[in-house]
Amino acid sequence: MDELINKRINEVLKGDQNAFEEVVTLFQHRLYQVCYRMLGNAQEAEDIAQEAFVRAYINIHTFDQKRKFSTWLFRIATNLCIDRIRKKKPDYYLDANVPGTDGLNMYSQIAASGELPEDEVERMELQERIHYEIGRLPDKYRSVIILRYIEELPLQEIGDILKLPLGTVKTRVHRGREALRKQIGNM
């Protein structure tokens, strides 16, 4: 896998833009998923995940091929997500929807960090509820929980992606688990 990726990267470095298409194809779902869970909605996830690939393409010459490409790519994407979350107004999507009345996409409209009345939360489908609870996590814990339990990455790799010491990653995972336990304790 790494060998194939590095081969494609070398082709991109020589000016062959089409070689990058394979790289995008290989990582699109993982990157999109992380962005989607981080940001909470599909439009922004698509925009940011695509932007992450564009940044990766532009800065491909700075990638050290001895390292893991996915780690480097995830770092670009999580940084973009964190920037976007910071810029976003907290109530940006709240007026746009009432979950349960929107039959198009069960979790397309749930805002990250948006709080909902308890009875509505109880009526949610499982997947909708999972997405909602992830979105309710504080940003710091959300990123590590997504990388740990949705991407199923080892703690060390999460540290490499977020540029955090292993100890800090562990602390955040612990607090994230605590937060989740308290959030869903009344299920």
Partner 1 sequence: MNTCPEQIVHYMHAYLDGDISRDEERLLKEHLDSCKECKEIMNGLTESIVFIGSAAKIKAPDSFVNGVMARLPKEKSQAGVQRWLRSHPFLAAAAMFLILMSATLFSSYGNDQQFAVTKQPNLVVEGQTVLVPAGEIVKGDIVVKNGTLRIEGEVDGNVTVIRGTKYMASTAIVTGKSEEIDKVFDWLWYKMKKTAKEVFSSSKGDMQDEE
Question: How far is Cα 171 from Cα 43, in angstroms, rounded to an integer?
Answer: 31
Binding mask 113-152 for partner 1 (x = CB under 8 A): -------------xx--xx-xx----------x---xx--
Q: How far is the CB of 109 from partner 1 (least distance, A)?
A: 15
Q: Which stretch binds partner 1 (CB under 8 A): 63-71, 80-88, 115-123, 169-177?
A: 169-177
Q: Is 19 in the site for partner 1 (CB under 8 A)?
A: no
Question: Who contacts 16 (Cβ-Cβ below 8 Å, separation ≥6)?
Answer: none
Count of all residues that appear for the chain in the document:
187
**Alpha carbons within 13 A on the beta-carbon side of 60:** 21
Q: Which is nearer to partner 1, 36 or 93 (CB)?
A: 36
Where do the H-state alpha helices sit in the chain? 2-13, 18-39, 42-58, 69-87, 118-123, 126-136, 139-145, 155-162, 166-184
Site residues (vs partner 1, CB under 8 A): 14-17, 20-21, 24-25, 28-29, 31-33, 36-37, 42, 46, 49-51, 53-54, 57-58, 126-127, 130-131, 133-134, 145, 149-150, 155, 170, 173-174, 177-178, 180-181, 184-185
